[in-house]
Amino acid sequence: MRPGIFTAAPERNRLPREEPPLCYTGRRLAVVFSDGSPSATLQFDSPAIPHMLPRIYEQTPADLISWCAAQQLPAYRAGQIQQQIYSTRTNSFAEMTNLPATLRELLAQHFSLLPSEIVAHQIAKDRTEKLLLQLHDGSLVECVLMRDDDRRTICISTQVGCGMGCVFCASGLLGLKRNLTTGEILEQVLRLDRLLPPGEKLTNVVVMGMGEPLANLKNLLPALDRLTAADGLALGARRITVSTVGLPDKIRELARTGQQFNLAVSLHAPEAELRTKLVPVNKNIGIEAVLEAADDYFQITGRRVSYEYVLLGSINDLPEHARQLGHLLKSRIAHVNLIPMNGVQELPFAEPSAPRTHEFVAILESFGVPVTVRKRKGADIDAACGQLRMKREQQNLVTL
């Protein structure tokens, strides 16, 4: 939506009655409803409120070239603009001093760069950093930067909340609010990239934050395209991991992009009954369908699939579970990522004991299944996905 258009000709901007009035950072934007009911007062400043402008990186490269043409700018300016967005870590158009001042002003009139608000920035003892971003509609989104030797890995969210309802996960406790847009997904990447000092680069992206990425594939794919594009962040697809609860059709759709993304499937149980208890969407999908889709992913892309398995003390961490998992995966080109349960205050699950974890690993290895135990990052900053947002939402509930 472009700012200012409502003031110019309200008659042309009638919205269906069911559209709620829009509200941006405390300013009320009233609309004229199409059934003719009166609008409230229209209040916003001129020039445009930056929050309401589209994020510039929501434009495809072709869109940017068209925009340049419409502004009577040479096409090469589009490339220069991309370069400024992805390579200079500037925080405003005004700082893009390699561009002419008139172009910088024009950009600021038409687009926003980093419009969300950082409402929390936590830094853990191991230098893991977590941002809580507030979007124009008040939605809260978490994203994380992790440091490991030379690796700089970020973890990004694709939805506000989550609709999958995994019983041990904080993200789903409040249900799904909405999908993030492509620009909202990319803003997390750009924000985290800007936390790095000069000379350090993002090396890996894991799409393992809040939400189910494959339930928002239509907005995620254009974002991944910008991450891998030579005129974007130029990250190899093999450095990007998409984690899913296991939506078979969408797994195949991801495979058909022709990109070599890593796929991580959150399995969490070796048989259907237990999996349905832990991952309720399994009821309508079934373990077999998930594994078949993952096998297809390997066939199409040649990429080894990872299976994530959260170890919940005395629930899915028994030797019997490890043996069942070993049988399930021994003939597959697979890798198991064991994740010790990250405690969530509201949830009644215990972390697995160290001896149990070791035994689980040993049994899987006896089946020839490669396995790693995920290192805990940022344990002192509510690192489990959705935890920080959950805390904020609770505070909001108290203060309202």
Positions annotated as catalytic residues are 142, 385
* DSSP H or E stretch at residue 130: strand 129-134
Strands 129-134 and 117-123: antiparallel
CB of 346 to ligand SAH, least distance (A): 10
Residue that has been written with the tokens 């030379």 in this structure = 150
Q: Judge contact between 11 and 42, C-beta under 8 A.
A: no
x/- mask, ligand SAH, residues 356-395, rule CB under 6 A, reads ----------------------------xx----------
Identify which of residues 50 and 142 has a Cβ nearer to ligand SAH in the complex: 142
**Pick 217 or 341: Cβ nearer ligand SAH:** 341
Cβ proximity of 328 and 303 under 8 Å? no
Which residues in 78-117 contact ligand SAH (CB under 6 A)?
A: none
Q: How far is the CB of 97 from ligand SAH (least distance, A)?
A: 39
Q: How far is the CB of 268 from ligand SAH (least distance, A)?
A: 6
Is the CB of 116 or the CB of 337 nearer to ligand SAH? Answer: 337
In the bound complex, what is the minimum distance in angstroms from residue 213's beta carbon to ligand SAH? 6
Q: Which is nearer to ligand SAH, 106 or 210 (CB)?
A: 210
Omega cis (within 30) before 47: yes
The residue type at 241: T
| Stretch 255-274: interaction string toward ligand SAH, x if CB under 6 A | -----------x--------
| Half-sphere exposure in the Cβ direction for 391 (13 Å, CA) | 13
Q: Residue 24's CB: how many other CB atoms inside 10 A?
A: 17
Cα torsion angle, 165, 168, 173, 179, sign: negative
Q: For residues 204 and 342, which CB has a smaller minimum distance to ligand SAH in the complex?
A: 342
Of the candidate spans 34-42, 49-57, 118-126, 334-342, the one that interacts with ligand SAH by CB under 6 A turns out to be 334-342
Place of tokens 């390997």: 298
DSSP state of 92: S
Instruction: Kindly tell me which residue out of 212, 262, 269, 293 binds ligand SAH, with binding defined by CB under 6 A.
Output: 212
- Which of 129, 121, 131 has its CA nearest to residue 146? 129
Beta bridge partners of 146: 153
Q: What is the DSSP letter of 212?
A: -
Asked whether the CA dihedral 96, 97, 99, 101 is positive or negative, the reply is positive
User: Of the candidates 132, 192, 208, 390, which one interacts with ligand SAH according to CB under 6 A?
Assistant: 208
Beta-bridge partner residues of 130: 122, 144
Nearer to ligand SAH, 150 or 346 (CB): 346
The two three-digit tokens of residue 59, written as one number: 């434009």
- Tell me which of 243, 282, 301, 316 binds ligand SAH, using CB under 6 A: 243
Q: E strand or H helix at 154, and its extent?
A: strand 151-155
Q: In the bound complex, what is the minimum distance in angstroms from residue 265's beta carbon to ligand SAH? A: 7
**How many residues belong to the site for ligand SAH (CB under 6 A)?**
18
Stretch that binds ligand SAH, among 54-62, 146-154, 297-305, 337-345 (CB under 6 A): 337-345
- Sole binder of ligand SAH in the list 68, 310, 363, 369 (CB under 6 A): 310
Closest approach of ligand SAH to the CB of residue 313, in Å: 12
Q: Which residues pair with 372 in a beta bridge?
A: 337
Instruction: Report the interface residues with ligand SAH, using CB under 6 A.
Output: 164, 166, 168-169, 208, 212, 243-245, 266, 308, 310, 339, 341-342, 344, 384-385
